[in-house]
Structure 1
Amino acid sequence: MSAITPDHDTISLDGARKARGNLTGARIRWAMVFVLLVFSVMFGRLIWLGNVEVDTSIEGQTRDAIMASRPSILDRNGLEMAVDIRVPSLFAEPRRIIDVDEAADAILTVLPDLDPAWLRNRLTGDRGFVWIARELTPAQQDRIMRLGIPGLDFLEESKRFYPGGTVASHVMGAVNIDNVGIAGIEKHLDDDNLALLQNLGLARDSALTPVNLSIDLRVQHILHDELVDALERYQAIAAAGAIMNVNTGEIVAMASLPDFDPNAPATMLQEGHFNRITAAKFEPGSTFKTVTMAATLDSGAVRITDQIDARFGVRFGRYTIEDFHGKYRILSVPEVYQYSSNIGTIKMMQAMGKDNFRAFIERMGFDGAPPIELPEVTQSAVPANFSEVGAATASFGHGLSVTPLQTLRAISAFVNGGKLVEPTLFPRTEAEAMADAPQVISEQTSLYIRYLMRLNALSGSGSRGNAIAEGYRWGGKTGTAEKVVDGRYSSEKSLAFFVSAFPLDNPQYAMIVLVDEPRPENEQSGRTAGWNAGEMSGRIVTRIAPMLGIQPNLDPMIDTQLVPVELRAGLQQSPVSSTGL
């Protein structure tokens, strides 16, 4: 019996070893199966992810577009007028939000102005990206990041910043929350692809070429400052002005009040906050007599040496047109302009003929909208055909409405030798401007108009402004247009204009200024344009001329040389012109 026992123990030990080996092998096989399954799932997931189209947009806008920059906008001297700054914006991935209520409550501790119901709705669902708040401060970004909420993240956006604020708002315009131009030169840049934003993916990493404007920020600031002063000084409801280089067409300054802050674009929507230089039309009043003078003198129907019978009003049916401050005597052509005679102006236009006068108005660019890069423009309102009385009233600036920029362009042509240059907000050389500019009046007529404008400054309605701008050889024409209220002209509400140019011995700049519903500055002053827009123009010239390289010169011979040779020679003048006026 003892011989058999060891064999039995050996067989039992071998069986246990074999069972343990089988179990280990089974475990290894199951482990391998499990690993294969895990890798199969991972492999399948990778294939699925590879076929999924990644959402690279946030609420319909690509991330590249959101992060893209706009070019800096500089004035003609390189001073910054608009720049981009980088700001954080908060977005959420609702499908990753674990507890909507908890996330919403936490966000509201940092951004309490958000609507709780709106916020919870934004955080609910399986969307990939939704905006929560745009253009936050770095401090707000830091506080939200400290909350540690899954599903929230930040994206750096470009935000437009205007260092000058309101100073050039109507020129600059504004951009929306997505940094897209919605008004002014900003919209023009987008419309013309000058901002290079078509390469959005590169725009955020590459420096964009700055855009230079023709605006001189120094002059712009002075113009804006004087407009602000005019609103207070004359208790006016609005004021506007623009200054143009007569030889290049470059606008060196343009402002209109009330204005807005482009850093807060919503202020642009407030009532009355529009560009009165390009987007409004007005009856130009007596400033339009300069147009009539140029038209009649250039046509040859009237000579600078002629005399006009202004003793009696001009009658149309049962209506008679009189002079505001009538001399009621025979006037020379310069006196018609100097005393702003309605009677004399009408008779000069009649010598030319109403149809020829209407054709001249068209030639001077008063039809349609003014040519300028700004999208905010309006169409003029000039009758297609003039009746006799319509032509008469139009000759002194009533019965038609034009934009101030159209008037400024015409005045520039009247003093630059007769070339109708297109205004622009971008730098341009004189050669480039004159290449396409039509000759609308002769150089001789231009010399006549320069003399008349200077005469009016020396001894006409511009004398108050000239006393301020003494030495800068400045001159121009006033216009006081009564506003239409309830279908009738109001003697209480008016628009005051002054169009001018300087220095008239060598014209370089033209300017238009308007003051809406001015009141007398004091008991001794009046409310017509010479008292407000005229004086204001003189103050502007005194401040900007030295910046523009124009020095004062009090030599009396300069004004003498502006007098036409025919008048200097003392040619014999008949009591009444041979034209029968």
Structure 2
Amino acid sequence: MIRTPLRPLARILKAREAGENPDAIERENIRLRHEEMRDRARMRAEGRLLVMGAFFVCAFAVIGGRMGVLANSEPAEPRTGFAGADILAQRADIVDREGRILATNFETYSLYAQPQQMVEPERAAEALAAIFPDLKVERLKKDFTGKRKFLWVKKKLSPEQRQAVHDIGEPGLLFGPREMRLYPNGKLAAHVLGGASFGREGVHAAEVIGVAGVEKFYDKRLRDPAMGHQPLQLSIDLSVQSAVERVLQGGMMLMNAKGAAAVLMEVQTGEVVALASLPDFDPNDRPRPPIKGEKPGDSPLFNRAVQGVYELGSVFKAFTIAQALDLGLVNPSTMIDTKGPLRFGKYRIRDFRNYGNELDVKTVLVKSSNIGTARIAQMIGIDRQQDFLKSLGFFEPTPFEIVEAEGGKPLLPSKWTDLSLMTISYGHGLSSSPLHLAAGYATIANGGRLVKPTLIKQPKGQLGPRVMSERAAGQTLQMLRSVVTDGTASFAEVEGYAVGGKTGTADKPKPTGGYYEDKVIATFASVFPAHDPRYVLVVTLDEPVETTGPEPRRTAGWTAVPVASEITRRVAPLLGLRPEIEPAPLTGITLTSN
């Protein structure tokens, strides 16, 4: 920038020549320079004011817009921020074979507190204790008046409870929406479903995870967002399950039993139509697992049908005879030495009654002769007995779709001796679950093809490899029918439905060794209809005692059989089986020809 001098020489010289004052020229140039500086400063100040004005206009516009958005939005509780992945709360439904709901989701609310926002924490504590009797008022007061910034009060609220808490009017009590697992049928099929609980929890969502049964076995599939719209369909029939549980509960009470179990299975597919274990529980309010010192078997969570492994007694005789028939060692009319007692070292094998010196194979099963069965087992031998029972699945847990099945591994003798050979042939010395037994009888009923139990509805038959000939299976099935018509299971007969089966009464072992004299496990394994087998039913009672007679009776023929008979009578029509009525004999009428 070129700056004009205050005393330009040319003008000064000219002014002096004209007799003018040269200082006036300097004063004028100073005035003009000051005016120019003032104008520049004013323009700079005006520019700054304009920029600041524009900034404030924009800021107020943003704030006003945000206030307008908030004014038009729904009020919401502040969210508690946390690091990590979002919680997935959606869980697929579980339905029975007809599509009826067994487990579903229910929208509810949780209750949490932020004590620093409370106005009257002590009054709020007293009001909450009045709504929820399980909460301790002193504990609430301590939490609400302490240094805690956040605490859960209730994980699940009913609509009535939520309204009651809302009426307290305390701003520090807040609600968080969440989904919970609902079992609309209560205790029905409790051991099959198992139950669910909360995993990771946030203020506005909670992760629902399976803790037992089908819920835990299929937990990943039920939580898969891609499968959330597709329910898990089980083979259980809700109506049949209800009938089985109701009859089993009544039978357990009438027979003064400590516990009971029942398995109803299709013989062609292995589908379990009903599975019950008593005592049971409500999965909506699942009890705590047994603590140290308590017997797991006494807990209602214990699944007697799957986890319970017992010496099941004479029901195993059907397997021994079926194998002997399959190997061609005997036929139904082969005579067997039954003179007793059968001595083996210091041990004696006896029959319930003296059946004479010999019986044919059919009568050995019908009369349930321990000695006769042991003689047949001696013909089979240890190796072949082991191979046969292993092929039926009695060496491993059943591949069943509930997590408890892994704990139902059969108890085998540490050393399989000749004595073990004989005792296992009639159901002592090897412990297995009622589910193992049902699968074994289904193998006989379907003609000798291995059956794997399943809880999932199958599109078609899933028969496994052949483990016995169709001839041997058919002959054994005919003998099982004779056990009902002529033997120890006469109470099992249901008019219109031909039932075949075998009883089993085993002394209950003591925890310290040996056996109780007055405690048994009574079992009845049945097949119906016997002429065209469709279903297998196994009923087991723990420590039953039938007391209507002059003396207490504990054998399966008096305890488990009547219960199984009533179950068959109730469920057969529900399963679509039509009774076959045999024509009554004509009495008092003489037929004559024309």
TM-score by length of 1: 0.80
Question: How far off is 1:211 after superposition?
Answer: 1.8
Q: How does 1:312-331 map to 2 (within 5 A)?
A: 312-331=340-359
**Residues 103 and 416 of structure 1: CA distance in aligned 2, closer, same or farther (over 3 Å):** same
Partner of 2:489: 462
Q: How does 1:279-290 map to 2 (within 5 A)?
A: 279-290=307-318
Partner of 1:76: 97
Partner of residue 181 from structure 1, selected from 210, 219, 223: 210
Does the Cα contact within 8 Å between 2:122 and 2:141 map onto a contact in 1?
no
Question: How far off is 1:330 after superposition?
Answer: 1.5
**Residues 57 and 519 of structure 1: CA distance in aligned 2, closer, same or farther (over 3 Å):** farther
Does the Cα contact within 8 Å between 2:539 and 2:564 map onto a contact in 1?
yes
**Residues 174 and 147 of structure 1: CA distance in aligned 2, closer, same or farther (over 3 Å):** same
Partner of 2:422: 392
Q: How does 1:461-480 map to 2 (within 5 A)?
A: 461-466=488-493, 469-480=494-505
Q: Report the 3-state secondary structure (helix = DSSP H, G, I; strand = E; otherwise coil) of the residue aligned with 1:376.
A: helix
**Residues 143 and 553 of structure 1: CA distance in aligned 2, closer, same or farther (over 3 Å):** closer
Following the alignment from structure 1 to structure 2, what is the Cα–Cα distance between the partners of residues 367 and 257? 25
Question: How far off is 1:177 after superposition?
Answer: 4.1
The reply to whether residue 407 of structure 1 matches residue 437 of structure 2 is: yes
161-170 vs 237-246, which moves further: 161-170
Gaps of 5+ in 2: 1-41, 67-77, 200-207, 291-295, 585-594
Partner of 1:293: 321
The reply to whether residue 488 of structure 1 matches residue 514 of structure 2 is: yes
RMSD: 3.2
Partner of residue 529 from structure 2, selected from 482, 503, 510: 503
Partner of 1:346: 374
The reply to whether residue 249 of structure 1 matches residue 267 of structure 2 is: no
Deviation per residue, 1:148-184 (Å, 9 max, x gap): 4334432222122222211211111111245321111
Partner of residue 117 from structure 1, selected from 118, 126, 139: 139
Q: Report the 3-state secondary structure (helix = DSSP H, G, I; strand = E; otherwise coil) of the residue aligned with 1:476.
A: strand
Question: How far off is 1:212 after superposition?
Answer: 1.5
Q: Report the 3-state secondary structure (helix = DSSP H, G, I; strand = E; otherwise coil) of the residue aligned with 1:500.
A: strand
Partner of 1:548: 575
Q: Report the 3-state secondary structure (helix = DSSP H, G, I; strand = E; otherwise coil) of the residue aligned with 2:181.
A: strand
Q: Report the 3-state secondary structure (helix = DSSP H, G, I; strand = E; otherwise coil) of the residue aligned with 1:166.
A: coil
Q: How does 1:101-112 map to 2 (within 5 A)?
A: 104=125, 107-108=128-129, 110-111=131-132
Does the Cα contact within 8 Å between 1:250 and 1:426 map onto a contact in 2?
yes
Deviation per residue, 1:463-490 (Å, 9 max, x gap): 1221xx1221111000000112342222
Deviation per residue, 1:372-402 (Å, 9 max, x gap): 0011122111126521111111111111111
Does the Cα contact within 8 Å between 1:259 and 1:268 map onto a contact in 2?
no
Amino acid in structure 2 at the alignment position of 1:184: G
Following the alignment from structure 2 to structure 1, what is the Cα–Cα distance between the partners of residues 442 and 281? 29
Following the alignment from structure 2 to structure 1, what is the Cα–Cα distance between the partners of residues 140 and 146? 10
Partner of 2:70: none
Partner of 1:417: 447
The reply to whether residue 373 of structure 1 matches residue 394 of structure 2 is: no
Question: How far off is 1:518 after superposition?
Answer: 1.1
Amino acid in structure 1 at the alignment position of 2:495: E
Q: Report the 3-state secondary structure (helix = DSSP H, G, I; strand = E; otherwise coil) of the residue aligned with 2:156.
A: coil
Question: How far off is 1:443 after superposition?
Answer: 0.7
Deviation per residue, 1:113-164 (Å, 9 max, x gap): 433435653675575x642212112233233334443344322221222222
Partner of residue 562 from structure 2, selected from 511, 514, 535: 535
Following the alignment from structure 1 to structure 2, what is the Cα–Cα distance between the partners of residues 551 and 299? 36
99-108 vs 350-359, which moves further: 99-108
Does the Cα contact within 8 Å between 1:58 and 1:130 map onto a contact in 2?
no
The reply to whether residue 278 of structure 1 matches residue 306 of structure 2 is: yes
Amino acid in structure 1 at the alignment position of 2:447: G
Deviation per residue, 1:57-83 (Å, 9 max, x gap): 788997643xx2322221111222222
Question: How far off is 1:299 after superposition?
Answer: 1.6
Does the Cα contact within 8 Å between 2:289 and 2:299 map onto a contact in 1?
no
Partner of 2:477: 450
Following the alignment from structure 1 to structure 2, what is the Cα–Cα distance between the partners of residues 413 and 106? 62
Q: How does 1:297-316 map to 2 (within 5 A)?
A: 297-316=325-344
Does the Cα contact within 8 Å between 2:111 and 2:173 map onto a contact in 1?
yes
Partner of residue 227 from structure 1, selected from 248, 251, 255: 248
Partner of 1:217: 238
Question: How far off is 1:106 after superposition?
Answer: 5.8
Does the Cα contact within 8 Å between 1:84 and 1:160 map onto a contact in 2?
yes
Following the alignment from structure 2 to structure 1, what is the Cα–Cα distance between the partners of residues 217 and 81? 26
Amino acid in structure 2 at the alignment position of 1:317: G
**Residues 132 and 535 of structure 1: CA distance in aligned 2, closer, same or farther (over 3 Å):** same
Does the Cα contact within 8 Å between 1:260 and 1:268 map onto a contact in 2?
no
TM-score by length of 2: 0.78
114-123 vs 173-182, which moves further: 114-123
Amino acid in structure 2 at the alignment position of 1:549: G
Amino acid in structure 1 at the alignment position of 2:444: F
Does the Cα contact within 8 Å between 1:100 and 1:124 map onto a contact in 2?
no
Aligned length: 506
Does the Cα contact within 8 Å between 1:98 and 1:150 map onto a contact in 2?
yes
Deviation per residue, 1:73-94 (Å, 9 max, x gap): 2111122222221111112345
Deviation per residue, 1:180-217 (Å, 9 max, x gap): 21111111220xx221x243xx99xxx62222211111
Amino acid in structure 2 at the alignment position of 1:307: M
Does the Cα contact within 8 Å between 2:125 and 2:140 map onto a contact in 1?
no
Question: How far off is 1:105 after superposition?
Answer: 5.4
The percentage of counterpart residues that share the same residue type is 35
Amino acid in structure 2 at the alignment position of 1:475: G
Following the alignment from structure 1 to structure 2, what is the Cα–Cα distance between the partners of residues 163 and 510? 28
Q: Report the 3-state secondary structure (helix = DSSP H, G, I; strand = E; otherwise coil) of the residue aligned with 1:430.
A: coil
Deviation per residue, 1:442-475 (Å, 9 max, x gap): 1111101110110101100111221xx1221111
137-146 vs 243-252, which moves further: 137-146
Following the alignment from structure 1 to structure 2, what is the Cα–Cα distance between the partners of residues 425 and 373? 6
Following the alignment from structure 1 to structure 2, what is the Cα–Cα distance between the partners of residues 177 and 346? 53
Following the alignment from structure 1 to structure 2, what is the Cα–Cα distance between the partners of residues 80 and 60? 36
Does the Cα contact within 8 Å between 2:396 and 2:409 map onto a contact in 1?
yes
Does the Cα contact within 8 Å between 1:302 and 1:351 map onto a contact in 2?
no
Partner of residue 186 from structure 2, selected from 145, 165, 181: 165
Does the Cα contact within 8 Å between 2:121 and 2:144 map onto a contact in 1?
no
**Residues 317 and 134 of structure 1: CA distance in aligned 2, closer, same or farther (over 3 Å):** same
Q: How does 1:354-365 map to 2 (within 5 A)?
A: 354-365=382-393
Deviation per residue, 1:259-289 (Å, 9 max, x gap): 1111111266594311111011000100111
Q: Report the 3-state secondary structure (helix = DSSP H, G, I; strand = E; otherwise coil) of the residue aligned with 1:158.
A: strand
Question: How far off is 1:318 after superposition?
Answer: 2.9
Partner of 1:576: none
**Residues 163 and 349 of structure 1: CA distance in aligned 2, closer, same or farther (over 3 Å):** same
Amino acid in structure 1 at the alignment position of 2:420: G
Following the alignment from structure 1 to structure 2, what is the Cα–Cα distance between the partners of residues 295 and 556? 37
Q: Report the 3-state secondary structure (helix = DSSP H, G, I; strand = E; otherwise coil) of the residue aligned with 2:320.
A: helix
Higher gyration radius (CA):
2
